[in-house]
Amino acid sequence: MKNLKALSKEELKSLAPSIFNHTVDAKLTEKYVHIPTNTIVEDMEALGWVPYEVKTVRSRTKNAATKKHLIQFFNPEIVINNEAGEADMYPALLLINSHDGSTAVRFEMGVFRMVCENGLVIKSQDFGGFKMRHMGYSFEDLRNYISELVNTLPIVVENLNKFSQFEMTPEEQYNFAIKAVEARFGEEKQLPAEEINNLLAAERKEDEGNSVWVVLNRVQEKLTNGGFGYLNARGKVRKSRAVKNFTQDLSMNQKLWELAEEFIAA
């Protein structure tokens, strides 16, 4: 089981130099007020949230110093325990920013599951992320927004408990997997029945069972890691790749969370 480790400034700078960039894209006007990501990182650390993972958008054309990036934070003092009282998950806060004017400062909430070293992005009407404009950013605003998200954690835990308590029939699991595949690929790619069953198969003891929670995690992990076969438009089997683009990963995980909520609400 992985223990989350905070990334140092040197590690962040090595993994994503754009975080420490204090210049902006040349196409932007003087009205654009820039918030360097490292300023937000320092403010997050002051609030008890430390970075543990960073990703950048892969692009051959955009300036590496200004391109979109994502940083994931956890708070060592905020842990979700399992039924045995052991640390099982960390609530995570995801920061998305860029220095080219293409996006506002954006936060999303997620959960990091220690047993599989994977994260799920929470998407719900009851709670969610927030955006901050580059113009007018302040530490006080950030603290208030983060406080509001943290206050929704009891609802997160309540939903996780519902996911764990709701048992799915084999037919429901199969339908869930089909819809999950659509969340990643859309409707243009189909999986043979054998591959659908492989997505649903448990690879470790902790993922055994029929609850929405374990089915969600089994399918999400395999869709993220790739390596399974799918049918292309010509009906030929091709092997899927791992999801590397964090924008695609974010979108897919949000859709999977919403899909899980649909099943417990049905």
Q: What mean pLDDT do residues 184-189 have?
A: 80
Per-residue pLDDT band for 24 (boundaries 50, 70, 90) equals low
Confirm whether pTM is higher than 0.85: no
Task: Write down the pLDDT at residue 144.
Answer: 93
Tell me, yes or no, whether 52 and 143 share the same domain.
Answer: yes
As a whole number, the mean pLDDT across the chain is 83
Mean pLDDT over 19-26 rounds to 69
| pLDDT of amino acid 36 | 80
Residue 1: per-residue pLDDT: 47
Q: Is 70 exceeded by the pLDDT of residue 99?
A: no
Q: Do 222 and 144 belong to one domain?
A: no
Same domain, 231 and 173: yes
Residue 253 lies in a domain: yes
Token reading at 147: 């406080």
Containing structural domain, residue 221: 166-265
Q: What percent of the chain has pLDDT over 70?
A: 81
Q: What percent of the chain has pLDDT over 90?
A: 36
For residue 51, is pLDDT > 90?
A: yes
Could you say which of 136, 161, 186 is where a domain stops?
Answer: 161
Let me know: does 123 contact 258? Beta carbons within 8 Å. yes
pLDDT value, residue 106:
87
pLDDT of residue 33: 61
CB 181 within 8 A of CB 193: no
> Of 59, 64, 61, 10, which is closest to residue 38 (Cα–Cα)?
10
Domain end marker among 114, 135, 161: 161
194 in Cβ contact with 151 (< 8 Å)? no
DSSP 231-264: E-TTS-EEEPPP---HHHHHHHHHHHHHHHHHHH
Q: Which residue has the tokens 């089994």?
A: 218
CA 27 – CA 8 distance, rounded (Å): 32
Q: Identify the weakest region by mean pLDDT among 128-132, 167-171, 211-215.
A: 128-132
60-79 tens-digit pLDDT: 545 555 578 899 999 999 98
In a domain, 123, yes or no: yes
Find out whether 98 and 69 touch, Cβ atoms under 8 Å: yes
Q: Look at residue 15 and tell me if it is in a domain.
A: yes
- Rounded Cα distance, 97 and 38, in Å: 11
Domain assignment of residue 1, yes or no: no
Do the strands 229-231 and 130-132 form a parallel or antiparallel pair, or are they unpaired? Answer: unpaired
Per-residue pLDDT, 239: 87
Among 90, 113, 101, 93, which Cα is nearest to 68's?
A: 101
Helix (H, G, I), strand (E, B) or coil at 111: strand
Instruction: Give pLDDT, residue 234.
Output: 73
Q: Are residues 145 and 257 in the same domain?
A: no
Q: Does residue 32 have a pLDDT over 60?
A: no
Question: CA 125, CA 120: separation in Å to the nearest integer?
Answer: 16
Tell me: pLDDT of 101 over 80: no
What separation in angstroms does the CA of 121 have from each of 41, 192, 229, 252? 20, 27, 25, 9
Please compute, for residue 129, the number of CA atoms within 13 A of its CA located in the half-sphere on the CB side: 19
The encoded tokens of residue 217 equal 């995690």
Residue range 191-231, pLDDT digits in tens: 889 999 999 999 888 889 999 999 999 999 999 999 888 87
What is the pLDDT confidence band of residue 117, given thresholds at 50, 70 and 90? low
DSSP bridge pairs for 107: 95, 130
Number of domains in the chain: 2
Burial classification of residue 239, based on how many CB atoms lie within 10 Å of its CB (0-12 exposed, 13-18 middle, 19 or more buried): exposed
